[in-house]
A and B are shown apart, each in its own frame.
Chain A
Amino acid sequence: MTGASARGGANRIAGGSQVDYGKPLGFEFEGRRYEGLAGDSIASALAANGVWLLSRSFKYHRPRGVLTMAGHDGNTLVRVGNEPNVRADRHPISEGLAVKGQNYRGSLEKDRDAWLGRVSRFLPVGFYYRAFYKPKWAWQRLWEPWFRKSAGLGEADLAAAHGYFDKAFGHYDVAVIGGGPAGMSAAAFAAKAGANVVLIGESPVLGGALNYARFDVERAGAAKTRGELAADLEKSPNLTIMTYAACTGWFADNWLSVVRGERLHKIRAREVILATGAVGQPAQFRNNDLPGIMLGSAAQRLIRLYGVRPGRTAVVVTANDDGYGAALDLLDAGVTVAALVDLRPESGTAPCEDAVRERGLTVFNGYGVSEAVPVRGNRHVSGVRIAKIGERGAVGDGGQTIPCDLLCVCNGGMPAYQLALQAGGRLGYDDGRSVFSITGLGGHLHLAGAVNGALSLEAALADGRRAAWRAVQALGIGGVTEPVALADPTVQRMRPHPIATHPRGMDFVDFDEDLQVKDILNAVAEGYNEVELVKRFSTVGMGPSQGRHSALPTARLVARATGRTVGEVGVTTARPPVSGEKLGVLAGRGFEPERHTAMHHRHLEAGAQMMTAGLWWRPAFYGPRARRADAIREEIAAVRENVGMIDVSTLGGLDIRGPGAAEFMNRIYTFAYVKQQVGRARYVLMTNEAGAIIDDGIACRLSEDHYYVTATTGGVDRVYLMMLWWNAQWRLDVDITNVTAAYAAVNVAGPQSRALLAPLTEGIDLSGEAFPYMGVREGLLAGIPARIFRVGFVGELGFEVHVPTSMGEALWDAVTGAGTEFGLRPFGVEAQRVLRLEKGHIIVGQDTDAMTTPEEADMTWAIAKRKPFFVGKRSIEMRGRRLSKRKLVGFTLDADGPLPEESNLVLRRGEIVGFVTSVARSAALAKTIGLAYTARDASEPGAAIRIRLSSGGDVNGVVVAPHFYDPENKRQEM
């Protein structure tokens, strides 16, 4: 399969399984045009064109290139269009795709910040904690802006249009995470047994290592196995395959977050099989981060998946048998393999080993890499210095330098443990044998394959079947024969690369965060001797690769420095997400429920400015924003002098029905309801068990055992739930129904309201004698069945009309039509707030807080003291014996003085004694009026009140009774 191909880059060779050699695609990187093939990732297409420099590192701006080709590292982050931090080894190319590098000044090739690497000794671990706090001004004005500019990843494009993201729920009997051989084998087994299965793989095609690793000399086994597994999966009707999908988190009760494209799948599975594989580990030596140094599996992926020759002359360093397969693949791809460095003193007897020796490769046994030699500017590797590993397991001095442009590192794998540990598993490590184990997983979670230590192909396949069988057993599917357990035939001999510290450093433990060996050791020396502390001090593992490559060397370094084993030191807590998630994916399509009244569109047509009240949308006032003050004043004037109409459909409505209705009302509310007459309305005040006001409204007794009760717009849902909760304990014979949405309602108020409505009503006499204040009548209004209440929140003659919601707009239309000759004006919430303030009516939640008692708000008239019980009674009695120091009062200010705002403080001799809850200029009273908490001993009418304005100045006013307007209520009761 050697021989350069004509299209898709000079390094292109035949045999790439994922690229279409017949479909060349043009794309741009850093403004230059390149040709790749359909199926290429950005990184593979660039590699095919000999472009190895993909990014600059976080802190020192060192050149970085391909490391894993699996989307597992932070070296490949590029910008695609307006999207930063795209993984170049995962993102496919397309015609015309424009790709840019990140984190450089000038150009990626010639980064003006590359000098930072040379001064690294002045930027030790944690330097920002202690170097830049003096002088005080410098951090904010000098250092922080500079750090933000020179460190970090891509830039967010704040002007980018919002993308279309989405979420979906999924439900399966079994979810298999991992599309490699173990996952495929598990999914096929479970599906065959009859379970409903989803198989989630992060690569575009299933197969995992079967697609690129060399399991035998002839390469026949992998293809055959893959074909068989794929055929099995294809035969399964109850199997869903999700490729190119990342499972980013495990949450309680097997709830998985799976990101696929721009959709977040929330998957619930009864059984989960984790076949997440193992993550190849880089080695630590000087300049181990140069472009051209990559995992052996990365080189194999380039060759086998994309048909890209990863270099001309290679050195392979290996900790186990894997390097021999990689060496054969390199040879087949036309790469000269200058040396194979086997860390083990003696090689094994793996079949690929014999083939390697037969092809005449030089094998250095018992050697390691002490240093990589860069070309000028650190832009690529030009050679590798190797030396014998000494008695104490360290790479020795001296040795020899072998020229090469590619160093393949096969340093063994670490289980992809993140999901397993999120689910409560514990990671163990046998330091002697360099073998990991994961234990402690709860039921309904099963491991399979390399993550479970089953490393050979046969073992992984068998382990997949075993895990699936256990899952199927847990599902209660009977009659499935237990598959045979296969002991891993050859527990591989493995000798990880020693951590080769170098006096001049650049021996990177964490590529994302530019952390060197000495940084970790210094962190321990500073006293941070646990990995969790080392992580927080040094930021190791916090970058895009989330510790995949840094956790193990960090643990080894901490173990060495503290005289413990790697198993004892362990790894930091695994938390979701396992890999990066876009904020857009998390946000999804924003579901923000809104509630609209039946007249909503009429308000919009009338030019209303809408405001929200909880989920409801209500008209604040009618007319353009620029006319706000005038509009509110005119709406108020219409109500006071003529007639106005407000949509009050958002008021809560509750039906309390049954033989126990009166008793229930008596227990829930503070007033007395047993003797309330049918056809009459009565104020309701609700307190909680602590005696604080939590809601109010009107109760209408429609029949002996039926009360229709209103509640505040924002409070009704809570009131309803609490009513049900209390009655779950009292078990009174009463039915409670929330009918808020069932009724549209308007309040028609003003001196002309009776004249306006009278011609519209049928069967209801609106006259003062027949329909007194606080009366309730049922009949027809404009032909619509209506309940009409004579209540007066705004202090004028008024009628509150409740009709079925579907007829609310017809009601609005009818009253609007009839109102033309009376000059009827719709009014909004702003005008209503002023109107009710002129009457001194409180709004629960605005004029009350979590502590306000009826006594503080001067509402003891609404408490029936002789009732044996109501919610809050005991606490109100207790608090009545020990009065608070504050009182809610009315106050007035000069109309032409400054206008305080709600929440402005009330002061007395420099001490805070209260705050303003409501305030407005009243045209009717020619004063500024308001409600405020003030000191109890200065709450009598006539007392002075001093308010601290938002501007910092004070304004002086006088305490008055809060019934500012028409204190005898003559207007509303006429």
Chain B
Amino acid sequence: MDPAGQTRRSFVYRRLAEAGAVFGAVADVALAVHYGDPDAELETARRLGLADLSVLPRVGFKGAGAAKWLAAQGVSLPEVNGAAAQPDGALAARLGPDEVLLLGGLDGAAGLVGRLDEAWAEASTVEPRGYPVPRRETHAWFVVTGAQAADMFAKLCAVDLRPQSFANHRIAQTSVARANAIVIRADLAGTLAYHLLVDSATADYYLPVLLDAMSEFTGGLVGHQALQALLQ
């Protein structure tokens, strides 16, 4: 599957392709499914892996009434700067009292994210319900996995993200490698993992910076298959 043939393209698909990515369809988008050796990538993912999930569904809601409306839609909401897993595999990240970012599941299905998008557009209520934010476009989505993920972040980020100080499902909205970023710890079936959301225009800057920071730990890019394998 050629990502350049798609309407929706990852912000870094060229760099992934240069690194040997094999793209495949996950739901309706082209993802780097592996880089030639899924078994080795699983090991890398356990040690220190980086995957680009930018093309997968996500959405944000913010503004007056957003939290209340989402709760009414059945979204379980955590405290501010916390995240909560949803039954379909989505993750609700509370960025502010009335600001929530919803990351879809790794399977790429529209799921909760798609349902909320539609429900907001179709709502006829006059009650305030916040406003949707196109997070699939404003932010690139990377996931950094593995036991040494925190050591890698220590080279880029001044916030203490070590697992003993930064519990699962905690969020840091901070500066990573001198640009604004959202870091969400969300372990993948016991493997330490952080979602990293950055301004989509900086994705092209971040990818090589992250790979360089990972190199001393022999970390590297991993495909979607390796992430799925972590979950099993």
Q: Is the CB of B6 within 8 A of A810?
A: yes
Chain A contacts of B201 at CB under 8 A?
Answer: 595-597, 616, 649, 740-741, 805
Q: Is the CB of B11 within 8 A of A598?
A: yes
- Contact indicator per residue, chain B 178-209, by CB within 8 Å of chain A (1) or not (0): 11000000000000000000011111110001
Q: Is the CB of B130 within 8 A of A805?
A: no
A-B contact count (CB 8 A): 110
Chain A contacts of B199 at CB under 8 A?
Answer: 595, 741
Known contacts being A170-B154, A741-B201, A809-B9, is A591 close to B134, with CB within 8 Å? no
**Interface-located stretch among B68-76, B81-89, B135-143:** B135-143
**Interface-located stretch among A71-79, A283-291, A731-739:** A731-739
Q: Is the CB of B154 within 8 A of A806?
A: no
Q: Is the CB of A591 within 8 A of B155?
A: no
Nearest Cβ on chain B to A784's Cβ, whole angstroms: 6
A744 to B212, CA, bound (A): 28
Closest to A616 in B: B201
- Contact indicator per residue, chain B 152-170, by CB within 8 Å of chain A (1) or not (0): 0011111010100100000
Chain A contacts of B154 at CB under 8 A?
Answer: 168-170
Known contacts being A171-B165, A742-B137, is A735 close to B63, with CB within 8 Å? yes
Q: Is the CB of A166 within 8 A of B155?
A: yes
A187 to B54, CA, bound (A): 45
Closest to B212 in A: A589
Q: Is the CB of B205 within 8 A of A783?
A: no
Q: Is the CB of B133 within 8 A of A739?
A: yes
Chain B contacts of A968 at CB under 8 A?
Answer: none
Chain B contacts of A805 at CB under 8 A?
Answer: 11, 137-138, 200-201
Closest to A814 in B: B7
A170 to B161, CA, bound (A): 10
Pick the residue among B4, B6, B160, B205 that contacts A595 (CB under 8 A).
B205
Q: What's the interface size class on A, roughly?
A: 35 or more
Known contacts being A595-B199, A784-B7, A806-B10, is A735 close to B204, with CB within 8 Å? no
Q: Is the CB of A806 within 8 A of B54?
A: yes
Chain B contacts of A595 at CB under 8 A?
Answer: 199, 201-202, 205
The answer to whether the Cβ of B55 comes within 8 Å of any Cβ in the partner chain is yes
The answer to whether the Cβ of A556 comes within 8 Å of any Cβ in the partner chain is no
Chain A contacts of B205 at CB under 8 A?
Answer: 593-596
Q: Is the CB of B130 within 8 A of A735?
A: yes
Q: Is the CB of B64 within 8 A of A737?
A: no
Chain A contacts of B224 at CB under 8 A?
Answer: none
A810 to B7, CA, bound (A): 5
A737 to B133, CA, bound (A): 8
A161 to B64, CA, bound (A): 55
A938 to B157, CA, bound (A): 56
A918 to B9, CA, bound (A): 38
A658 to B212, CA, bound (A): 44
Known contacts being A595-B205, A735-B64, A810-B7, is A171 close to B139, with CB within 8 Å? no
A742 to B139, CA, bound (A): 8
Chain B contacts of A593 at CB under 8 A?
Answer: 177-179, 202, 205
Closest to A196 in B: B164
Pick the residue among B54, B62, B177, B202 that contacts A735 (CB under 8 A).
B62
Interface residues of B in 95-141 (CB under 8 A from A): 130-131, 133-134, 136-139
Chain B contacts of A597 at CB under 8 A?
Answer: 201
Q: What's the interface size class on B, roughly?
A: 35 or more
A589 to B215, CA, bound (A): 13
A600 to B204, CA, bound (A): 10
Which one of B62, B156, B200 has the highest number of Cβ atoms from chain A below 10 Å of its Cβ?
B200
Closest to A657 in B: B131
Closest to B204 in A: A596
Q: Is the CB of A742 within 8 A of B138?
A: yes
Which one of B130, B137, B158, B205 has the highest number of Cβ atoms from chain A below 10 Å of its Cβ?
B137
Q: Is the CB of B11 within 8 A of A806?
A: yes
The answer to whether the Cβ of A260 comes within 8 Å of any Cβ in the partner chain is no
The answer to whether the Cβ of A807 comes within 8 Å of any Cβ in the partner chain is yes
Q: Is the CB of A266 within 8 A of B158?
A: yes
Chain A contacts of B203 at CB under 8 A?
Answer: 596
Which one of A657, A743, A784 has the highest number of Cβ atoms from chain B below 10 Å of its Cβ?
A657
Q: Is the CB of A655 within 8 A of B202?
A: no
Q: Is the CB of A743 within 8 A of B137?
A: yes
Q: Is the CB of B134 within 8 A of A742?
A: yes
Chain B contacts of A810 at CB under 8 A?
Answer: 6-9
Closest to B29 in A: A806
The answer to whether the Cβ of A804 comes within 8 Å of any Cβ in the partner chain is yes
A809 to B6, CA, bound (A): 10
Q: Is the CB of B137 within 8 A of A171?
A: no
Q: Is the CB of B134 within 8 A of A783?
A: no
Q: Is the CB of A594 within 8 A of B7?
A: no
The answer to whether the Cβ of A601 comes within 8 Å of any Cβ in the partner chain is yes
A592 to B8, CA, bound (A): 28
- Contact indicator per residue, chain A 149-173, by CB within 8 Å of chain B (1) or not (0): 0000000000000000011111100
A805 to B14, CA, bound (A): 15
A784 to B177, CA, bound (A): 33
Chain B contacts of A784 at CB under 8 A?
Answer: 7
Q: Is the CB of A741 within 8 A of B7?
A: no
Chain B contacts of A589 at CB under 8 A?
Answer: 155, 212-213
Residues of chain B having any CB pair with chain A under 8 Å: 4, 6-11, 14, 54-55, 62-64, 130-131, 133-134, 136-139, 154-158, 160, 162, 165, 177-179, 199-205, 209, 212-213
| A to B CB contacts below 8 Å, 21 in the list | A171-B160, A266-B158, A591-B156, A591-B179, A596-B205, A597-B201, A600-B204, A657-B63, A735-B62, A735-B63, A735-B131, A737-B131, A741-B137, A741-B200, A741-B201, A804-B8, A806-B136, A806-B200, A807-B7, A807-B8, A809-B9
Of all A-B residue pairs in the complex, the 9 with the closest CB atoms, nearest first, are A735-B63, A595-B201, A742-B137, A171-B160, A591-B178, A593-B179, A596-B204, A742-B138, A742-B134
Q: Please give 10 more A-B residue pairs, beta carbons under 8 A apart, in addition to A171-B162, A743-B137, A809-B4.
A: A168-B154, A170-B154, A589-B212, A593-B205, A595-B199, A735-B64, A735-B130, A737-B131, A737-B133, A806-B136
